[in-house]
Structure 1
Amino acid sequence: MKLIKTKGLVLSFLKYRETSIIVRIFTRELGLKSYIVNGVRTKGAKSKMAFYQPLTLLDLIVYDKEGAGLNRISEVKLSKAYERIPFDFQRSSIAMFMGEVLGKSIYESYHNESFYDFLEYALGLLDEESVILVHYPLVFLWESSKYLGFAPNNANSFFEELTDEAYHPAEVKEEMDYLDGLIGESFACTHKVHAIFRKKLLDHFLMFYSKHLESQNEWKSVKVLRQLLE
């Protein structure tokens, strides 16, 4: 068993027995790992639960034993304290959506340091006052698909992949132009786009992800997100 120093992004946790949790953390050095944390659900340890809220960025020293399904955390401290995400409804709703996307996309022991670095950057951006929130979820889906290995080359190939839905190019021209803008400008995109097309592109992105992830599970955080795309 080794002790490893790593950064980590909390994805989710489950209550375990009376006072413990099992937390899933996407670590930079080890990939997605599950850790058992004892005694954090007692009255005296409530502050420690703050470390394990979804999308918290941590500095960790963890035990790592090859083949172990559950490991333990030796040391934990906050890597970055968010200034706006927890206190802003729009930002916290987008973060909730990001957590759901990552929970569906990243499997146990999946390891990608570049993706971790991108997520850390993207969350830092979401916490900034200047970020353009109406485009953010769509850019996040596009950028993440590159690291997950199924990003199309352009908007045209994106829609060609959605073979389950018949469409005419003229019907999706606005969406295609918008997506090409997002691809070209990423989080700096300032395109003026009607809310209808933002929502349509979101729905098409979720179809695209479900197809590549072979998941038919409902996207639970989307109802709130659609309201933010108004």
Structure 2
Amino acid sequence: MLHKTRGIVFKYFKYRDTSIIVKIFTEAFGLQTYVVNGVRSKTSRGKIALYQPLTLLDMVVYYKDSAEINRISEVKCRSPFQSISTNIKKTAIAMFLAEVLYKTVKEEGEVAELFDFIFHSIEILDHVPEGFENFHLQFLLKLARYLGFGVESSEIFYDSFPEEDVEPVKQLLMNPYEQRIKISNTMRRILLDHIIKFYQTHIDTLKEVKSVKVLQEVL
């Protein structure tokens, strides 16, 4: 049976000579696995671009509850990126977020709030013109609530830190993405390390996050 749904690409893997297996977080069914045939062939005319991490999609899909892998009937990019694919800092942030999402979001079924949060966060990252260097920190702090282990206060990270270092975390928790928060590169790295460790205590599948190195090089 065919269904319409929005989707967010998390990751794809090469499959056979010209196909891929792609993990897409869908609004209708949560995290799903699809096989897409021929998308890597010379005649596909760049269709592989639709399955780059964090691409926002409009889809018509086949869905069978018992199937481990389903198929896509129709797909188009819902909101083409304006800057994520061209701004090296945003690209690094997107790579990092995609890796974390792939390793942490396993939900199927009713996921409306979680889906909307991720979808709109990606749109904000793409459109915010400046002051987005802390975006990944805010995203992870906000995402934790939707995953069931939300951060309510900065003390969970900074019981042993000077009081002046706690204030940036409070701001990251409370403020919207668009509000600029002044944090040094050193503090940004310390915060990220603590947040990742916090996630790792709650999610067994989040071990090494390889894209952190690239993120630290460009921010």
Which TM bucket (shorter chain)?
over 0.9
Give unpaired runs (5+ residues) of structure 2: none
| Structure 1 contact 135–189 (Cα < 8 Å) conserved | no
Q: C-alpha distance in 1, partners of 2:82/2:191?
A: 30
Distance 2:201 2:2 in 1: 38
Residue 167 of structure 2: aligned partner: 177
Shift of 1:131: 4.2
Deviation (angstroms), 1:221:
0.7
In the alignment, is residue 190 of structure 1 matched against residue 180 of structure 2? yes
Partner of 2:198: 208
Residue 77 of structure 1 corresponds to 76
Q: Are 1:95 and 2:85 an aligned pair?
A: no
Q: Is the 8 A contact 1:35 1:70 kept in 2?
A: yes
Q: Is the 8 A contact 1:174 1:197 kept in 2?
A: no
Q: How far apart, CA to CA, are the structure 2 residues paired with 1:68 and 1:205?
A: 35
Gaps of 5+ in 1: 161-166
TM-score normalized with structure 1 length: 0.89
Displacement, 1:107? Answer: 1.5
Distance 1:227 1:175, change over 3 A: farther
Q: Assess if the C-alpha contact under 8 Å between 1:32 and 1:108 holds in 2.
A: yes
User: Quick one: which amino acid aligns to residue 61 of structure 1?
Assistant: V
C-alpha separation in 1, matches of 2:218 and 2:165: 18
Alignment of 1:13-32 (within 5 A): 13-32=12-31
More helix by share: 1
TM-score (norm 2): 0.93
Mean Cα displacement is larger for which, 208-217 or 62-71?
Answer: 208-217
| SS of equivalent to 2:12 | strand
Q: How many equivalent pairs are there?
A: 219
2:127 corresponds to:
128
In the alignment, which residue of structure 1 is the partner of 2:41? 42
1:5 matched to which residue of 2?
Answer: 4
Q: Distance in 1 between matches of 2:12 and 2:52?
A: 8
Identity of aligned residues (%): 40
- Sort the Cα spacing of 1:110 and 1:95 in 2 relative to 1 into closer, same or farther, 3 A: farther
Q: Quote the offset at 1:8 in angstroms.
A: 0.3
Q: Which runs of 4+ in 1 moved over 3 A?
A: none
- SS state at 1:98 partner: helix
RMSD: 1.7
- Superposition deviation, residue 119 in structure 1: 1.4
Distance, in Å, in 1 between the alignment partners of 2:36 and 2:94 is 24
1:205 & 1:13 partners in 2: Cα distance? 26
SS in 1 for 2:11: strand
Structure 2 SS opposite 1:121: helix
Tell me the amino acid that sits aligned with residue 189 of structure 2.
Answer: K
Which secondary structure does the structure 2 equivalent of 1:126 belong to?
helix
Q: Write the distance in 2 (CA, Å) between the matches of 1:34 and 1:216.
A: 19
Aligned to 1:224: 214
Secondary structure of 1:127 counterpart: helix
Q: Secondary structure at the match of 2:4?
A: strand
